[in-house]
Amino acid sequence: MKVFATVREKFRETLETYWVLVKITVPITIMAAYLSRAGVIEAIAPFFDPVMHTIGLPSALGLAWLTGIIVGLWGAVPLVFTLVAVSDLSVADITVFSALLLFAHGLPLEQKIIQKAGPGMVITTILRIAGGLLYAFLLHRFCEATGWLSAPVNPAWVPLNTTPLWSEFFWDLFKTMIWMFFILLSLSLGLEALRATGLLNLMMKMMSPFLRLVGIQGNAVYLTAIGLFLGISYGAGLLIREAQSGAIPPRQVFLSCVFMGFAHSLIEDTLLVMALGADALGVLVGRVLFAFAATAAIAFVLRLASDRAFFSTAFNMKT
């Protein structure tokens, strides 16, 4: 009976989340399709070209990236193959673009949560976007130099594809929304199964020594591990209470939030972009290694910074 009660509760939670996503995703997707057909995307694409060219992506994907930054992953995902045909993308392209999205998405919401824990919104936002661009650039150059992931992308799930007829577009959009619900429900039940079996807790414990190596210590370790696997809303949300009570020092709070900005929700978000055809090594292993290296570098800089410099630029003590 407990299993059925859990499934029923997860179904209800997923339905609530899904309805919020539908209200955001459907209008944005329709608007993007209209703008694409009206030639507006083609007109504004040059504004994204410098950044997209640097990481080897079509400039049209700049709109999907911007949507992801503002709305979140689920706002960007349906746009990818609407703006650029599947046949025009390689595995490297979709992996690089997915990595860019995984670093920085849903910033208005996630950064507000981080800000409530104490770290400055401006500096942590800059770090997330800059970190994503740097990792995407390094990944692109590596793929370009070695030919790794040069095969045409073969996604397991195509949310929406370029189509000439509006009737086909709306039918595809309807099917995408149905699939979105079942994917969300599967991910939610999968995470609950990991919790129930204790595997999630084991993964967090295995990650703790590595977090300590990059300068994250004490109580911040476990909360950072929660954010790493479950997302910023969980990790930083719990961190707010600990930070306000003074149980975790401000510099540790800052480092924890920076690391979570680089790598969070490893299970759910990674599975989503892998369904689009992204390579697991690029969007999971490489991203986590980059997050450790970048956080270690930032921890080194923090050790050199005075309290005055730290609190004036990176942390709000009033929070």
**Averaged pLDDT, groups of 10, the chain, 319 residues long:** 76 80 78 76 78 94 89 86 92 97 90 89 96 98 97 89 76 83 80 80 82 87 85 78 82 94 92 95 97 96 93 82
Place of tokens 């370009």: 144
Q: What's the pLDDT at 99?
A: 97
Share of the chain above pLDDT 70, in %: 97
Angle at 235 between CA 229 and CA 236, to 5 degrees: 145
| C-alpha–C-alpha distance, residues 56 and 281, integer Å | 18
Helix (H), strand (E) at residue 245: helix 232-245
Within 10 Å of residue 229's Cβ, how many Cβ atoms? 22
Query: What local confidence, expressed as pLDDT, does residue 30 receive?
Result: 83
Measured CA to CA, the distance from residue 144 to residue 78 in angstroms comes to: 26
pLDDT of the residue at 56: 96
The pLDDT value recorded for residue 163 is 66
CB 261 within 8 A of CB 127: yes
Give the Cα separation of 170 and 177 in Å (integer): 10
| C-alpha 92 chain-centroid distance | 18
pLDDT on residue 318:
66
Helix (H, G, I), strand (E, B) or coil at 119: strand
Query: Domain limits of the chain?
Result: 2-313
The predicted structure's pLDDT at residue 22: 80
For residue 29, CA distances in Å to 32, 67, 81 come to 5, 10, 11
